[in-house]
């Protein structure tokens, strides 16, 4: 049985960390990325193929040339605000690209897939923490595009016997514990690197999008999961599929939420620096609270977050920022 794993979007923040985890566990990751948002310097644990999933011929050729055991599919656009402004871009890239990949897999008898999904498929949840069987009702095109791909994968499972692990990420954060890779987005929209930037860069002012939510301090609450924990869940999922042939959907979060203001306060405490911020209008498509129930991940793949204490997350992110900015 081949140990080759195709990682679409493997040159990105999460994908590169997954490749490191795969390599450490004896798999051979091969990255397929168009480098629009990914970085060639982040590909350190396997071969690299430049390509785009919207180029149907290119992904078919990759799967024809190499014997893959499974695909880990991360390649997608992931900016919520942009998806609202330009939904066509998101539906075309995220859904059509996924169909091209799945068809190439089917053609070449590669029927194991781990899909990078998102808590955005739940929209504004009715209950907290969120369970996997809770109603999925996305409130932005990004979440809708991911939910559509989830449904397509399940249809390929029923019709063609695909095995899948659908992993719904909450808020990935932190940096590699060895300092080898970390968060570097252009543009950067994630809260934690922006708060850290505001602590160190006195010319930069952080924007807080609304302080009138129904939370203790009025700012939104999110569940932050260390990127190393997130990456390890993919390796565990791969092993579970390999050993049992099971298919499953799992939430990947820490089962604990922090508000925007709490993150700011933690960063100020850890850096001994003030974070300059201003409150602006709410963003369209931002739910008030997103916190995962992660019990299914514990039961299904034996996954428990090890590094997702907020101090561990922030310290690793701060170290990465100081070293690289």
Annotate 56-71 with DSSP letters as a single string: HHHHHHHHHHS--SEE
Residue 93: the pLDDT is: 98
Residue 135: the pLDDT is: 98
Paired strand residues for 73: 8, 115
Q: Among residues 217, 182, 197, 130, which one has the least CA distance to residue 313?
A: 182
pLDDT in tens, the chain (325 residues): 789 999 999 999 999 999 999 999 999 999 999 999 999 999 999 999 999 999 999 999 999 999 999 999 999 999 999 999 999 999 999 999 999 999 999 999 999 999 999 999 999 999 999 999 999 999 999 999 999 999 999 999 999 999 999 999 999 999 999 999 999 988 899 999 999 999 999 999 999 999 999 999 999 999 999 999 999 999 999 999 999 999 999 999 999 999 999 999 999 999 999 999 999 999 988 999 999 999 999 999 999 999 999 999 999 999 999 999 8
Q: Among residues 103, 99, 33, 112, which one has the least CA distance to residue 69?
A: 112
Residue 285: the pLDDT is: 86
95 phi and psi angles, rounded to 5 deg: -90, -50
Residue 197: the pLDDT is: 97
12 phi and psi angles, rounded to 5 deg: -90, -175
Q: Count CB neighbours of 58 within 10 A.
A: 17
Q: Which fold has domain 191-222+255-324?
A: UDP-galactose 4-epimerase; domain 1 (3.90.25)
Q: Which residues contact 178 (CB under 8 A, 6 or more apart)?
A: none
Residue 73: the pLDDT is: 98
Give the whole-angstrom CA distance, residue 119 versus residue 170. Answer: 5
Q: Among residues 207, 177, 174, which one has the least CA distance to residue 192?
A: 174
Residue 2: the pLDDT is: 87
156 in catalytic set? no
Q: Look up residue 25 and give its DSSP letter.
A: T
Contact indicator for 288, 139 with CB cutoff of 8 Å: no
Q: What is the residue extent of each domain of the chain?
A: 4-173+225-252, 191-222+255-324
Q: Count CB neighbours of 156 within 10 A.
A: 20
Token pair recorded at residue 246 = 């099971």
199 phi and psi angles, rounded to 5 deg: -75, -35
Give the whole-angstrom CA distance, residue 73 versus residue 32. Answer: 10
Residue 243: the pLDDT is: 95
Whose structure tokens read 């009138």?
212
Residue 323: the pLDDT is: 95
Q: Among residues 138, 173, 105, which one has the least CA distance to residue 320?
A: 173
Token pair recorded at residue 35 = 């480098």
Token pair recorded at residue 322 = 């100081």
Residue 325: the pLDDT is: 87
Contact indicator for 224, 171 with CB cutoff of 8 Å: yes
Q: Which residues contact 61 (CB under 8 A, 6 or more apart)?
A: none
What CATH number belongs to 4-173+225-252? 3.40.50.720
Instruction: Check 90, 142, 213, 277 and give the catalytic one.
Output: 142
What pTM does this model have? 0.97
């Amino acid at each position: 049985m081949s140990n080759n794993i195709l990682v679409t979007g493997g040159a990105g923040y999460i994908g590169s960390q997954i490749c490191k985890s795969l390599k450490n566990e004896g798999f051979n990751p091969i990255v397929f990325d168009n480098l629009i948002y990914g970085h060639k310097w982040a590909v350190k644990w396997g071969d690299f193929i430049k390509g785009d999933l919207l180029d149907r011929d290119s992904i078919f050729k990759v799967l024809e040339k190499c014997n893959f055991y499974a695909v880990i599919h991360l390649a997608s656009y992931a900016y919520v605000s942009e998806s609202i402004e330009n939904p066509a871009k998101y539906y075309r890239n995220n859904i059509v690209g996924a169909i091209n990949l799945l068809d190439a897999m089917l053609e070449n008898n590669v029927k194991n897939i781990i899909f990078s999904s998102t808590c955005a498929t739940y929209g504004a949840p009715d209950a907290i923490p969120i369970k996997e069987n809770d109603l999925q009702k996305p409130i932005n095109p990004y979440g809708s595009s991911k939910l559509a791909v989830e449904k397509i994968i399940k249809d390929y499972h029923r019709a063609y016997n695909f095995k899948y692990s659908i992993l719904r990420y909450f808020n990935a954060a932190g940096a590699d514990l060895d300092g080898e890779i970390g968060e570097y987005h252009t543009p950067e929209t994630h809260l934690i690197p922006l708060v850290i930037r505001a602590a160190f860069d006195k010319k930069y002012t952080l924007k807080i999008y609304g302080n009138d939510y129904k939370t203790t301090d009025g700012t939104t609450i999110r569940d932050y999961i260390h990127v190393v924990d997130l990456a390890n869940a993919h390796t565990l999922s791969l092993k579970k599929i390999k050993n049992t042939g099971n298919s499953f959907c799992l939430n990947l979060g820490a089962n604990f939420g922090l508000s925007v203001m709490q993150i700011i306060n933690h960063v100020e405490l850890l850096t001994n620096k003030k974070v300059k911020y201003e409150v602006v209008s709410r963003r369209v498509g931002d739910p008030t609270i997103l916190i995962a129930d992660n019990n299914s991940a514990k039961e299904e793949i034996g996954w428990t977050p090890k590094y997702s204490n907020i101090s561990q997350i922030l310290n690793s992110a701060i170290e990465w920022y100081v070293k690289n900015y």
